[in-house]
Amino acid sequence: MMKMIIVTDLDGTLLDSDYSFREALPALNEIKARKVPLVICSSKTRKEIEQIRMELHNNHPFISENGGGIFIPNGYFTFQISHHGFQIKEDEKYIVIKLGADYAVLKNALAELREKGFHIKGFGDMSIREVKELTGLKYSDAERAKERDFDEPFVFKGRSKEMTRLKRIILAKGLTYTQGEFFHIMGDSDKGRAVNIIKELYQKQYGDVMTIALGDSPNDIEMLQNVDYPVVVQKKDGSYNREVIRKVRKCIKADGIGPDGWNKTVIELLETMIP
């Protein structure tokens, strides 16, 4: 039987506006019962995702900071992990595949952009309290959100013409950008590239795999484009992000907002694809 792998975004997808996954519990319990790996793929940091994994009792690999890093628990796969072209290191908990830029490079790039007159402010330029007020996170979670490795969220104040110029300069620096709840500056990495590496690892372990991904924002586009069954969940107002719908072919539109839509669609797919 083909192995099913589920990849999910967090904010606005598995988590609601209060950062709760309660509405998705029936599907989460069914996933565990059927031993389907749930791989978190988020703009959140390692420490933020670790906290959520602990609450979910999740022990599967995860992808942090918009594809900047892949974290594979030690001993998770039965083979030695290697990947040409990317830096791989092992710490006390994980084998880490680094795809993103060094955080210091991103901080310096934002400083240079400010010198050019752009009104931008990154998480690294904010206090924990400022991040808390901006995001609605608890103080401890805001502290985790500031401990970044590969990606820097930032707020931008300016007209669309200035945003176009800002993006052009970021690309000229050899960096990239994306947008979820905030703008993000990062290296030559994205969720799609990270998901493809994860797929290769699961294929090496199990043979053929069937992949499902769930997301809601433009920073999920590459992730959704690189799986068999891309699912777009509704935004808080009940709409679907137009850019995501336009760029992700044959996507499944979840019938519900955030974790409610996540729950309904995952249960339906489980019942349809795994007898």
Q: Is the pLDDT of residue 275 over 80?
A: no
- Write down the mean pLDDT value for the chain: 94
Sheet holding 176-179, edge to edge: 119-122, 151-157, 183-186, 176-179
Q: Are residues 209 and 161 in the same domain?
A: no
Same domain, yes or no: 200 and 94: yes
- pLDDT recorded at residue 274: 62
Joined together, the tokens standing for residue 65 give: 């900071």
Residues 35 and 162 in one domain: no
Residue that finishes a domain, picked among 186, 215, 235: 186
Give the domain-ending residue among 163, 186, 209: 186
pLDDT reading at 32 higher than 60: yes
Q: What is the pLDDT of residues 88-107, one digit of tens each?
A: 999 999 999 999 999 999 99
On the question of pLDDT at 182 being above 90, the answer is: no
How far, rounded to the nearest angstrom, does the alpha carbon of residue 96 sit from its chain's CA centroid?
A: 16
The CATH number for 44's domain is 3.40.50.1000
The whole-number pLDDT of residue 84 equals 67
pLDDT at 34 over 60: yes
The verdict on 27 and 84 lying in the same domain is: yes
Give residue 180's pLDDT band: very low, low, confident or very high (50, 70, 90).
confident
Q: Is pLDDT at 188 greater than 90 in this prediction?
A: no
Is a pLDDT exceeding 70 seen at residue 61? yes
Position 30 confidence tier, pLDDT thresholds 50, 70, 90: very high
DSSP 158: S
38-47, 75-84, 126-135, 137-146: least confident range? 75-84
Residue 248 sits in the same domain as residue 148: no
- The single-letter DSSP state of residue 23 is G
The pLDDT of residue 243: 95
Residues of the chain with pLDDT > 90: what percent? Answer: 86
222-241 tens-digit pLDDT: 999 999 999 999 999 999 99
- Are residues 120 and 86 part of one domain? no
Query: Domain of 170: which CATH number?
Result: 3.30.980.20
72 with 174, same domain: the answer is: no
| Residues 250, 181 share a domain | no
CA distance 239 to 71: 32
Residue-range definition of the domain harbouring residue 35: 3-100+190-273
Catalytic status, residue 9? yes
Q: Which of 166, 186, 206 is the last residue of a domain?
A: 186
DSSP calls for 195-246:
HHHHHHHHHHHHSSEEEEEEE-SGGGHHHHHTSSEEEEEE-TTS---HHHHH
Residues 112 and 244 in one domain: no
Q: Which helix (H) or strand (E) holds 25?
A: helix 25-33
- On whether both 8 and 96 belong to a single domain, the answer is yes
pLDDT over 90 at 273, yes or no: no
Look at residue 22 and give its three-state secondary structure.
helix
